[in-house]
Structure 1
Amino acid sequence: MGRMPKKKSLTVRRVLTLLLAYIMLCVGGGVVMAALFSPAVFGMNSVARAVVPSLKVEGVDFDVTSLPQKSVMYASDGTTKIAEFYADNRTVVPLKSISKPMQQAVVAREDRRFFKHHGVDVQGVMRAFFQTFVKKGDTQGGSTLTQQYVKNVLAMQAREDDDPIAEYHASEQTVARKVREMLIAVQMEKEYSKLEILQGYLNIAQFGNHNLYGVESAAKRYFNTSAKDLNIVQAATIAAITKNPAKYDPTSDENLKESQKQRNIVLDLMLQEGYITQKQHDEAVKTPLKDTLNVQSIDSGCQVAGDAAFFCDYVTRQILKNKEFGATEEDRNKLLKEGGLSIVTTMDVNANSIAMDTARNTIPPNDPTGFEIAIASIRPGTGEVLGFGINRTYDATDLAKIDSTRTAVNYAVDEQDGGGWGFQVGSTWKPINLVAWMQQGKSINQYLRTSTAYNTASFSCNGYSFAGTWSVQNSGGGTSNESPLQGLVLSHNTTQASMTQQIGLCAIADAAKAMGYHNSIQGQEDIYSSNSFQPPMVIGTVQASPLTMANVYATIAAKGVECTPIAITKMTDRAGKNYKVPSANCHQAIDPEIAETTAYAINQGVVRSGGNAVDAQLSGGRKTFAKTGTNEDTYMLTGGFIPQVATFVAVGNAETPQSFNYKTINGVYRPTWYGMYIAEPAWKEFMQRYVDTAGIPIDNSYGNPSAKYTAGSTTTTQQNTQTQTQQQTQQDTQTQTQQQGTTDGEVDDGDINDGTSTMPQQ
């Protein structure tokens, strides 16, 4: 209900009402007249201002139409709820959306003369005075609904200000507090209509434990219904609670008997006031309260978001660090918990669910190795993050300290976004080198001479200089004079070093940045930071999050269009105000021909022609683009895409690098592990299940090489690549057979860096 100011004159009766109430309270409580006029209370300088104080008291806003309420986060469909956030669990609704029985029940219980008095009920005060001070009985308040609204506003403001003293004073049983409420209540009724005040009270009052405020939240909590649909029995149950939320909350077994008794008292009062008939009353009283309950969980925040919790945490952090949503983090947190926001995210329900399921299937949370698996998926050309997969249960409580299957760290994102230090990405970096190579006008079929030792001075560029020798090896040993395309297919480290020697390390760093790459470690995000800008970065020794690497592959998938990952598409408040959400800033970052040629190299060579990602091929003849990686013996990885989805998988100990060698992972023992053994199957499982579930059509039109960047004999290159792949496979088969007595014959892609290189110097 909108605000409808109602002009009322200050009648003699209203003044006498105040004075009479005040005199009675002074006599009963023994306070002095000066207390009423204390500047600390109202800042008044005349009797007239004492009688008609401003509603803007001590910075408190008594507007009945403006109350803090919870925010709701949704998935990309705008309807699937991920989580709720609130300081007070409240959903504000207009009076027209609150059932008549609910309105009548609260009036009958709290203030039966509500529609007759002017904010202070003289009869009620006299009755309370007589009961409390003459008969010496139980303390009676005599408060009207308007006074109770005032009391609730003051208490709410104290909670918002984190001021326990003010919260105590808002509810302490003193005459001064009563007088304060009375004076404000009279002014409230001068400014607002009865229906507006009733609406305000029904939305602000506490109707249960666990920060449960307002009848809409109460209706959902106790009966899984809305305030507009509350019947007589339900309304009486809720109306009874506010007298003593801790004692009358019916969800507690020990409270149930007393809750039913209090409900029946409300039914008696409703009958007395003529709101219900004798028949309605009798039928309601005979109804067992426990049979009417349909209790719903009211936990809030990412802690109770289930499989969407890691995504929820990521979105929350985007809000808390963005100055568009408030000048300080405190302001932004308040907006989130009190602004009544509707937050529509980019999370695809299917993608996130399948990613979480795939992570758990690949390495169970309780696997003895304790290895983490982190999956991030993104929609190319949009920056929209589709979901995360972590083989852990999200838990921001102390339980995570003693249970290794629980964590609040999202290993799929950067440290500043709630993640860790990231993973060394190994050979999944190598497509970046190919992009940088073509950006220098070179063909991917140009033959190179390679070595196992490189003078790092030859990698110097743009004022950055290196000294020393880098000893670089291929996992199968030896060297091969080959093209960059063959170097990618066979994942040869020596070829990456040879390419870098020709174009300089800066060219590769610049290509990476253009494609959306940055380091995961907070404060060292720039690739030119001293810890990452070293020659071995060309074989993936950098620390990156799966989301960052998924975005790099998304740039290739989107014909060179790079977008900043985004998680929010729309955010509005209860008044319909649209907030400016972070932009993806999509732009053409690399030449489309270079992007397509890179895609061609990944698909034609790495997936289709016997490269190390051959097992990533999706069903139905769908053109698949993927690259595996292994960083020494500590991390296994796979990145890849189809035109509609880009995904990256990382496996390892995310906190402290730990060797895979001679480990049993998810029941499988291997003396040596590679990315194709775990990360690649996980990547394929996620991608296949997601494209099938989402019904993503096959688009095999992408990945056409440019003649400009494939100069040379493509046919010969493919033949040589296949021949070398077979030879490499035979070599690795013999080596592994000797080592472990097996016939595992896939070409591995391990990145071995046992050489030395100095820190870069400007």
Structure 2
Amino acid sequence: MSAIAGILVTAMVTPALAVTGIAANNSIGMFENLPSYIKPDELAEKTNIYATNSDGSPRLLASVFEQDREEVGWDQISPFVKDAVIATEDPRFYSHGGVDIQSTLRAAAGNALETSGSGASTISMQYVRNIQVQKAESIQDEAERDAAYEEATKTTIDRKLKEIKLAIGLEKEFSKDDILLGYLNIAPFGGRVYGIQSAAKYYFGVNATDLTVAQAASLVAIVNAPNDLRIDWPENIPDNQARRDLDVLPAMLKEHKISQAQFDEAIATPVTPNIVPPSTGCQTANDIAAGFFCDYVTAIVKNDPAFGEDENTRWTNFKTGGYQIYTTLDVDLQIAAMDAVNANVPKAYDFDIGSSLVTVRPGTGEVLAMVQNKDYSADPEVTATNPGASAVNYSTDFAYGGSTGFQVGSTYKIFTLADWLKTGHSLGDIINGNAGTLNLAQFRNSCTGGNGGTYAVKNDGGSNPGNVTVRAATAASVNLAYLRMAQKLDQCEIKQTAEAFGVHRADGNPLGDNPADVLGTNEIAPLTMAGAFAAVANEGVYCSPVAIKRILDNQGNELPVPPSTCTPAVEPNVAAAMVDALKGVVNGGTGAASNPDDGIPLFGKTGTTDSEKDTWFVGATTELATAVWVGNVVGTVSLRNTSVNGQNGGQLRHFIWSTYMGNANTKYGGNQFPSATSDLINGVQVNIPNLAGMTIDAARGAVTAAGFDFQDGGVIDSTQPAGLVDGSSPAGSATKGSTITVFTSNGQLRSVPNVTGMSPSQAVAAITAAGIQQNQIVFDGPSGGSGVKVTATSPGAGEPIRAGSDKLRVTTKAG
């Protein structure tokens, strides 16, 4: 039939074209030189994004599409639809060879060869036109796309001839059923609805296989003029019903596709749509607060070359490729995270408060939960008027739909801790934690060469704890101790250690490596910090975060997905020692309020920035690492000095973390962490020289020669002669490299002699001989007489007393 149709059309077009003024001797050659074959491309289909339910089944989060289409097979379409299309559009579909000669001659005779619709265009010809339109719409370049669309839809004879030739070629390659099926899957049904399955779901809320005669006829009526006859617009319903009742149903009856009874029943049925809007866009995942995670997944597709050579190609593939994307999101954890955030941080408040919770699984990098205190919306009108909505993902980097990050405060100290341990220091090392002004020239930086000037720093709350172990400094988050630790390290290497843990600025700029950065002035995304702590829990191996487990194309084939890359950040022994120190944070330290106290081993670190603008708690078990940030999105309101719904703002991070992880731990549990070796926990103990009576210079030499750092503690009251060393803190022994604070005597103290058993006069002589003035002596009891003896002194023998001022009480008793 196709061959006969070709011959007949070739002969037919000469007089038809002659009417238009085209020379007859050109017409045959024109037709014969047209292309004869068109290959249907993959249809644009919607992409679905799934999370995982507690039973392991997929849960649809959202669908993203340019064309709402769900391609179906022959047996998934009601026979009423097929019959309605053939009866209305092309009654001789199964008997012609791509061109209905009778209809085409009739159209040509009426000088209407270029018209569309049932007059001359067969189903095969309409399918060709839809294929050409689909090809045009897939072109990335806007100008090329518009030109191709114009070429595919223009009402000219040469376009109609090309359509005829291609329809004939199509019928040579495909069966009639395949052509009809392709037509029903590609056809537009108004707006963004394409294909019979999506049309059935959208307009009537049923699958294509379940459409009634009346419903099928109403949908086929739309094909004739998709945007004029679509029935989701009430004003179109009368015209749709007229087309259904006057054209489609009578044609089905005439062609014996339905009985008179079926016809009568359908005619009596009003067009009553049941509009079921498709799940489109990430805002549909807001029911479990997963809109931002969904948006993160779309950003991964846009950014990763695995999905195409450039961003435009990747995004088009995403919206049209019919991907089935199965993500790492755990619905149970996501709901627990949503509940914990919603219970503590309002979506909108007196100031622009923000919060984020992200969980990463150690060892896999899988992102299991991602929540913030806003509803996701990409609509500028919504976000401009609703302070509880946002398009900015607080959890991720700017390049992945996020903000430019937030200062992480003391959570960043773990990278100084890591560098401290891997360079041979220990948790038992002693560091001066008192506030002070630091000489910036003493901070080594092999990247930049260092800085000059001074840096005056205080501890949170103004504390001055003196000499503390690194373990204690970590639990109490002592700023000065960590800065003095950094003085013994290389600032460049601290930065490189952080980078080994996957840490980077959210805005894409390089990490800072100034001394202040030790205290967390870099602006980093919560997802990045969760990934870093997951590496600590994973025995020092960092696994880059991943959100996609697998992707299937529209044919069910597996596509490559971006993998997690796992690399060692520190040795396992170093990670174990880090965990040991960070356990102290949640067991009586600054993060004790975050501990759910459920028996699952965990560690963590608090972080609070200047003016309490940003507050953090990041921690982990062996199974889950979670970062919680609560802070100012815009502005600087002190959370610690602000009440949020009756709760102290500085405590909200702890309430969220403990509540959420308590629930999460019931599902994932957790094991004991490995133990570190003694050299990293306690260090190598070295004897501290006895410095008493030395000059300060001699003491400095003795301390440094023994492998310690010397710290001048200044002048104190002492029994040693003025100007000589009284002693040190610590004394006895300490780990090599510890800071030994040396104190110089002011010579103001005297040591009380032992005068017990002496007579009062003998006691006075001994006391004054020790440098204590007689007017400092106060007798409790007789100061002379026969048989009177001293029984005690206060202060006691060997204890110090300030010369010239303090009183020495001497207790006597008659014998």
TM-score by shorter chain over 0.5: yes
Match of 1:444 in 2: 427
Match of 1:752 in 2: none
* 2:632 equivalent among 635, 648, 653: 653
* 1:252 equivalent among 218, 221, 233: 233
Change (3 A) 1:65 1:107: farther
Q: Is the 8 A contact 1:15 1:51 kept in 2?
A: no
Match of 1:696 in 2: 668
Please give the alpha-carbon distance, in whole angstroms, between the structure 1 residues aligned to 2:577 and 2:345.
35
Matched, 1:617 2:585: no
Aligned-pair CA distance for 1:628: 1.8
Aligned-pair CA distance for 1:492: 0.7
SS of aligned partner of 2:371: strand
Deviates more, 1:155-164 or 1:628-637: 155-164
Match of 1:707 in 2: 678
Please give the alpha-carbon distance, in whole angstroms, between the structure 1 residues aligned to 2:83 and 2:654.
64
Give 5+ residue unaligned stretches, structure 2: 686-815
SS of aligned partner of 1:185: helix
Matched, 1:217 2:198: yes
* 2:103 equivalent among 120, 124, 136: 124
Q: Is the 8 A contact 1:131 1:140 kept in 2?
A: no
* Paired residues for 1:193-592 under 5 Å: 193-209=175-191, 211-264=192-245, 265-290=247-272, 293-298=273-278, 300-306=280-286, 307-399=289-381, 400-451=383-434, 452-463=436-447, 464-477=449-462, 478-522=464-508, 524=509, 526-527=510-511, 532-592=512-572
Match of 2:709 in 1: none
Code of the residue aligned with 1:366 in structure 2: it is A
Change (3 A) 1:34 1:696: farther
Change (3 A) 1:133 1:517: closer
Please give the alpha-carbon distance, in whole angstroms, between the structure 2 residues aligned to 1:611 and 1:35.
96
Please give the alpha-carbon distance, in whole angstroms, between the structure 1 residues aligned to 2:117 and 2:566.
67
Q: Is the 8 A contact 2:98 2:124 kept in 1?
A: yes
Aligned-pair CA distance for 1:657: 4.6
Once superposed, what is the RMSD of the aligned Cα atoms?
A: 2.8
Aligned-pair CA distance for 1:267: 2.7
Match of 1:105 in 2: 84
Q: Is the 8 A contact 1:594 1:709 kept in 2?
A: yes
Code of the residue aligned with 1:32 in structure 2: it is I
Code of the residue aligned with 1:684 in structure 2: it is S
Q: Is the 8 A contact 1:21 1:122 kept in 2?
A: no
Q: Is the 8 A contact 1:240 1:259 kept in 2?
A: yes
Match of 2:778 in 1: none
- Greater strand content: 2
Code of the residue aligned with 1:212 in structure 2: it is V
Q: Is the 8 A contact 2:2 2:171 kept in 1?
A: no
Please give the alpha-carbon distance, in whole angstroms, between the structure 1 residues aligned to 2:324 and 2:25.
45
Please give the alpha-carbon distance, in whole angstroms, between the structure 1 residues aligned to 2:497 and 2:6.
77
SS of aligned partner of 1:80: strand
Change (3 A) 1:31 1:621: farther
> How big is each residue's C-alpha offset from its partner over 1:650-672, in whole Å with a ceiling of 9 and x where there is no partner?
1222345554465442344x6xx
Please give the alpha-carbon distance, in whole angstroms, between the structure 2 residues aligned to 1:492 and 1:357.
33
Aligned-pair CA distance for 1:536: 1.2
Code of the residue aligned with 2:136 in structure 1: it is A
SS of aligned partner of 1:254: helix
Tell me the TM-score normalized by structure 1.
0.82
Code of the residue aligned with 1:198 in structure 2: it is L
Please give the alpha-carbon distance, in whole angstroms, between the structure 1 residues aligned to 2:446 and 2:276.
62
SS of aligned partner of 1:346: strand
Please give the alpha-carbon distance, in whole angstroms, between the structure 1 residues aligned to 2:137 and 2:119.
23
* Paired residues for 1:678-689 under 5 Å: 678-689=652-663
SS of aligned partner of 2:370: strand
Aligned-pair CA distance for 1:71: 2.1
* 2:138 equivalent among 160, 166, 172: 160
Aligned-pair CA distance for 1:335: 1.3
> How big is each residue's C-alpha offset from its partner over 1:233-282, in whole Å with a ceiling of 9 and x where there is no partner?
33222212111222322222222333333333423322221222223333
Match of 2:22 in 1: 32
Match of 1:10 in 2: 3
Q: Is the 8 A contact 1:52 1:187 kept in 2?
A: no
SS of aligned partner of 2:358: strand
Aligned-pair CA distance for 1:580: 2.4
Tell me the TM-score normalized by structure 2.
0.77
* 2:152 equivalent among 156, 161, 170: 170
Please give the alpha-carbon distance, in whole angstroms, between the structure 1 residues aligned to 2:265 and 2:677.
81
* Paired residues for 1:143-158 under 5 Å: 143-158=121-136
Please give the alpha-carbon distance, in whole angstroms, between the structure 2 residues aligned to 1:387 and 1:253.
42
Matched, 1:115 2:94: yes
Please give the alpha-carbon distance, in whole angstroms, between the structure 2 residues aligned to 1:561 and 1:312.
27
Change (3 A) 1:384 1:665: same
Deviates more, 1:317-326 or 1:262-271: 262-271
Give 5+ residue unaligned stretches, structure 1: 1-7, 38-45, 57-61, 715-762
Please give the alpha-carbon distance, in whole angstroms, between the structure 2 residues aligned to 1:337 and 1:86.
4
Q: Is the 8 A contact 1:369 1:665 kept in 2?
A: no
When Rg is computed on C-alpha atoms for both structures, the one with the higher figure is: 2
Please give the alpha-carbon distance, in whole angstroms, between the structure 1 residues aligned to 2:661 and 2:182.
51
SS of aligned partner of 1:170: helix
Aligned-pair CA distance for 1:150: 1.4
Query: Per chain length, whose mean CA-contact separation is higher, i.e. which structure has more relative contact order (CA < 8 Å, sep 6+)?
Result: 1
Please give the alpha-carbon distance, in whole angstroms, between the structure 2 residues aligned to 1:173 and 1:141.
14
> How big is each residue's C-alpha offset from its partner over 1:173-209, in whole Å with a ceiling of 9 and x where there is no partner?
4433322322222222222221221111111111222
SS of aligned partner of 2:544: coil
